[in-house]
Structure 1
Amino acid sequence: MSTPPAGAGLRVLHLGKFYPPASGGMEGHVRTLALGQAALGARVEVICANHSADGTGTSHEFLGRSPTREDWDGPVRVVRLGRRASVARMDLLTDLPGALWRALGRGVDVVHLHTPNPTMVLALDAVPRLPPVFITHHSDVIRQRVAGALFRPFEALLYARACRVLATSDAYVSGSALLRAFRSKVRALPLGIDVSPFLHPSASARTEEARWREVTSGEPLWLMVGRLVYYKGLFTALEALTRVPGRLVVVGEGPVEAEARRQAKALGVEARVMWAGYLSPDALAGAYRAATALWFPSNARSEAYGLSQVEAMASGLPVLNTAIPHSGVPWVSRHEETGLTVPVGDAVALARAARRLLDEPGLAQQLGRGGRERAMGALRHDVMAARSLELYAEALGRPMSVAEAPSEVPARAASGRS
C-alpha cells in the first residue's frame, strides 16, 4: 500500500502581502512554500493584496485602486484583495474581513502569516478565535521607526497568540527584540528555492546567457538583483565599479533608481551600468550563468536573507555579500565557501573582493561549486516545505511522517556551470 503524502489532508491558509507576478523576496517565498506544501498533499490557500488594477506587471507600488479577484496557481487558491488606499505601507483592504471569514469557513488547520504585514496583523488581532497561527518573521521594521513603534503592541499581541514564530535563520534572532521576546516559540525555517531552473536551464535561458555574453564582449559582468531600495547597497556598488573593470547589470526597479542613475553619471561609470528592470525568469537565469559574480552589498538588517543569493549559488555563481550584523545574509552565502563577505558599506573592500575573482586562478570556480552544493542541500524548496510541515506537526502535537527529500542530484548538476 502506498504511503500518503506527508501533508495529506492538512489545510493551510497563508496570509501574505502580495503574490507573484508581484516582485519581491517575500512574495516569491510565499508562492514557493505554498506550492511545495501542496505538492506534499496539503490543501493550500493564499490571501493577499492585489498588486495591480489589471493583474499584470510586477511592481506593487500603489498606483490606484485594484479589484478583488480569485485565481488558482496550480493547486493553490489565491485570493487577491482589492486595495482602496495605501498609507505608510499599510493597505486598506475592505474585502479582507469577508475573505478571511469565508476562508476560515472552508476549514483551516493552520494560519500561516508572513510579516512585516500590518494589514494582516490587525485583521487577525480582531478575530477572537483562530486556528493555530504560525508566523514567518521575514524582517524587523528598521527604517519606519515611528510607525513601527506605534504598531508594535498590535504585532506583539499576535505573536503572543502564535504557536510558533519562524525565523528565516538563527543568525537573525539575536538582533531582533521582537524575536527575543518570544524566543521559546521561535524556530528556524530557512527559505529555499526550486533549484531546477538554475541547475538545468531551459533552451531560452541558454539563449539569454549567450545574449548577455555578447553584450559584455568578454568583459566581467557583475550582477545585482532586487528591488532598488535604500538597503540594497546600490550606491556602494556604483562606487566599487569605479575600481574594477567590467559592467554592472542592475536587475530590478524601485524608488532609488533615479538617484542611482545620477550617481553613476557623477562617478563616471554611467556607460558601464545597464539598468535592466525586471527580467523574465529565463532572462534572469541566463544572466546568472553569464555573470562573473553576484554583488549583494546590502547595508541594513531590513535585508534579512537574500533569496537572489540562493539563485546565484544554484547557478554556480560566486556571491559577494556583506557582514550585516544579526542578519542571515552572510549565513546564506558563506565567506570563502560560496563567495566572499566584506564589511558593510565598504566599496573598496567590495572592489578588492571582485578583483580576487579575476586575479586568483580557480577561485571563482571553487566558490561556484561550493555555492551550488549548498543550494542543492539545505536551501531547496522541497526541504523547506517538508520542514514547515514538521514544524506544524511538532507544535500541534500531531505525528506526521515527512519523507526526507532526496539529497542526491545528478553528478552533472554538481560540477559547476555547464
Structure 2
Amino acid sequence: MSYVQISQNDLFARVRKTVERSNGQNPLRICHLSKYYPPQPGGIETHVRTLATSQAALGAQVDVICVNACDRTGEDSPQTQTVEEFDRDVRVIRLGRMATVARFDMFTEFSRYFKQRGTQYDIAHLHAPNPAMGLHWALSNSSVPLVVTHHSDIVKQRVLKHVINPLLSYVYHRASRVLISNPLYANGSDFLRPYHHRVEVLPFGIDLSIYQQPSDGAIAYAEHLRSTYGSPIWLSVGRLVYYKALCVAIEALKFVPGTLMIVGKGQLAETLKQRAKEAGVSDRVVWKPYLSPEELVGAYHAATALWFPSNARSEAFGLVQVEAMASGCPVINAAIPHSGVTWVSRDRVEGLTVPVNDPQAMAQAARHLLTDPDLRERLSAASRVRAGRFDQDLMAQESLRIYQQVMRATAAEPVLV
C-alpha cells in the first residue's frame, strides 16, 4: 500500500502540469460507475458527486453512470426510466431499473451508455461495493483502464457476500488501482489483502468553504436552533441504519443535559423513536429527516459536538466528521477497529474517542466538553486545521495524478498477439 504525504503546494505544482496537459484539445475523459447519485442520500453518492464535479472543474470531461432510483415525481420506485442530465459540467446518466432483488438493482442499458461509448473514455472509475455495476462492467469486457474506490467491506450480509465477493474479486483483479480513503482500513480487510500492491490512499474531500464561511442563512438557522432548544445541542447526522449505532446516542442522552438532534432517515426510524421513548428521553430528541445544505451548516455551528457512535467497519471514514470539523464542531466518535473514523478525527487532538457501543463513555466524553470549555475550544480550533487535509480540490488533483500513472502504465504494457 502506498501512502506518501506531501505538502499542499507540492501537490498543486505536480498536478497542475497534469491538468494543463489534459486541458488542451484532448481533455482527460473519465467515467464514474456509481450505484446512485445525488439527490439520492448517502456518503458514497456525496463523494462521487464531489469528486466528479471537482475533476470537471479542473478541465476533465466527466460522465457518471448510475441507477435511477426515482420515478418522475421524485419518489423511490422499483421501476424507473433512463434519464440523462447535467450536474454543472458533469453528465449524469441514470439508468432505468426493472426491479430490485435483495438490494441488487436490475437494469439493461449499461452497454448502450458505456460499452458503445467505451472508446471515448480514458479511465473508468468504479465505486464499490457495487455488485450490479461491477457485473455489468465485467460483462462489457472493456479495455478502458479501471480504478476502483473501495468504500468499505461487506460486513453484515454474511450470506450475500459469499455471492458478491467472487464477482468483486474478478473486478478488483482487473483493476489497475484500488483506492481507499485512509491508511488504516486495508490492514483489517481480508478482502483487500490479495490486492495490497495496488492499494493507494486517496482521502475523501469536501467543499470546506461552505462550513468555514457559513452563509447568512446558515448563521440565522444556528441562532434559531439555539433560541429554540438552548444549550447544549448534541448533533448526529447520517442514515438511520444499524451501523450508525444511533441507539447508543439515544442511551447516552439519559446521562447528559441538552437536546439531541438526529438528522437523517432510514429503515430504523420507528425503532429508534421507540427506543427514545423507552429511555425516557423522547422529549429531548429532535428528529429531522432532512435539512437543506444551508440548514445543516447552521446545525453544525449550533451544536456543542457531533456524536458519531458508528460501530462497524461499514463506516470506513465518516464524511460528516469532516463537515463538523470544518465548522469548528468537535466530534465524539467510537474506536472501530481498522476503520478510518478515528484517523479523520483523532482522540484528544481534534475530538474525543470512546469504546464502541458504550453509551456511558459517550456521555462522559460529552460531560467533559461541558465542564472543560477550554478543552472544547482547543479541539474546535484543531478540527478546523485538520479539516484542511480533506479539501475537495486536493482530492481531485491527486485523483488525476493517479489516473495519469495508470494510463502511462497501461500504455507501456506489451500487446499480446
Q: Structure 2-normalised TM-score? A: 0.91
1:56 aligns with 2:100: no
- Opposite residue 309 of structure 1, the aligned amino acid is Q
Equivalent pair of 1:7/1:37 in contact (CA under 8 Å): no
Shift in Å, 1:171 = 0.5
User: d(CA) in 2 for partners of 1:281 and 1:385?
Assistant: 22
**Residue 144 of structure 1 aligns to which amino acid in structure 2?**
Q
* Number of residue-to-residue matches in the alignment: 391
Distance 1:300 1:7, change over 3 A: farther
Q: In structure 1, what residue type is equivalent to 2:383?
A: G
1:143-292 mapped onto 2 (5 Å cutoff): 143-217=156-230, 219-292=231-304
**AA partner of residue 382 (structure 1):** D
Tell me by how many angstroms 1:332 deviates.
0.7
User: What is residue 388 of structure 1 aligned with on the other side?
Assistant: 399
Residue in structure 2 matched with residue 29 of structure 1 by the alignment: 47
In the alignment, structure 1 residue 332 sits paired with structure 2 residue 344? yes
The Cα offsets for residues 226-256 of structure 1, whole Å up to 9 and x where unpaired, read as 1100000111111100000000000000011
Note the C-alpha offset of 1:78. Answer: 0.3
Moved over 3 A (4+): 2-7
Question: Structure 2: how far apart are the matches of 1:33 and 1:142?
Answer: 25
Report the secondary structure of 2:159's partner residue: helix
Contact 2:115 2:140 in 1 (8 A): no
Match of 2:96 among 82, 94, 105: 82
Q: What secondary structure, in the 3-state scheme, does the structure 1 residue paired with 2:66 have?
A: strand
After TM superposition, give the deviation of residue 130 of structure 1 in Å: 2.4
Give distance in 2, aligned partners of 1:5 and 1:248: 48
Give the match for residue 348 of structure 1: 360
Distance, in Å, in 1 between the alignment partners of 2:341 and 2:47 is 16
What one-letter code is carried by the residue in structure 1 that aligns with 2:323?
E
What amino acid is aligned across from residue 341 of structure 1 in structure 2?
T
- Indicate whether 1:359 and 2:377 are aligned: no
Distance, in Å, in 1 between the alignment partners of 2:74 and 2:346 is 36
**Larger deviation, residues 120-129 vs 189-198:** 120-129
Gaps of 5+ in 1: 399-418
Does the aligned pair in 2 maintain the 1:115–1:135 contact within 8 Å?
Answer: yes
Structure 1: distance between partners of 2:341 and 2:73: 32
- State percent identity of aligned pairs: 48
Q: 1:111-126 alignment to 2 at 5 Å? A: 111-126=124-139
Report if aligned partners of 1:235, 1:263 keep a CA contact under 8 Å in 2.
Answer: yes
What do residues 78-111 of structure 1 show as CA deviations (whole Å, max 9, x unaligned)?
Answer: 0011122111221011222222224324x00000
As a proportion of its length, which structure holds more helix? 2
Q: Give yes or no for contact 1:6–1:41 (8 Å, CA) kept in 2.
A: no
Aligned-partner Cα distance in 2 for 1:80–1:124:
16
Deviation at 1:56, TM superposition (A): 3.2
Tell me whether 1:141 sits opposite 2:154 in the alignment. yes
Aligned to 2:306: 294
Contact in 2 for aligned 1:7/1:389 (Cα 8 Å): no
Query: 3-state DSSP class of the match of 1:177?
Result: coil
> Which residue number in structure 2 is paired with residue 375 of structure 1?
387
Equivalent residue in structure 2 for 1:73, among 61, 69, 87? 87
Range with greater deviation from structure 2 (87-96 or 219-228)? 87-96
Structure 1 contact 21–56 (Cα < 8 Å) conserved: no
Q: Does 267-276 or 90-99 show the bigger shift? A: 90-99
Structure 2 gaps of 5+ residues are: 1-15, 410-417
Give the conservation status (yes or no) of the 8 Å contact 2:78–2:100: no
State the 1:17 CA deviation: 0.8
SS at match of 1:91: strand
Q: What SS does the aligned partner of 1:160 have?
A: helix
Q: Work out the CA distance in 2 between the residues paired with 1:354 and 1:165.
A: 37
Residue 178 of structure 1: SS of its match in structure 2? coil
Q: State which of 62, 72, 84 in structure 2 corresponds to 1:44.
A: 62
Once residues 32 and 314 of structure 1 are traced to their aligned partners in structure 2, the CA distance between those partners, rounded to angstroms, is 16
Counterpart Cα distance in 2 of 1:154 and 1:101: 19
Deviates more, 1:356-365 or 1:306-315: 356-365
Question: CA offset at residue 318 of structure 1?
Answer: 0.2
SS at match of 2:247: helix
Asked if the contact 2:138–2:171 (Cα under 8 Å) also holds between the matched residues in 1, the reply is yes
- What per-residue deviation string (whole Å, max 9, x for no partner) do you get for residues 20-53 of structure 1? 1110000000000001111111110000011211
Q: Which moved more, 1:199-208 or 1:22-31?
A: 199-208
Quote the offset at 1:270 in angstroms: 0.4
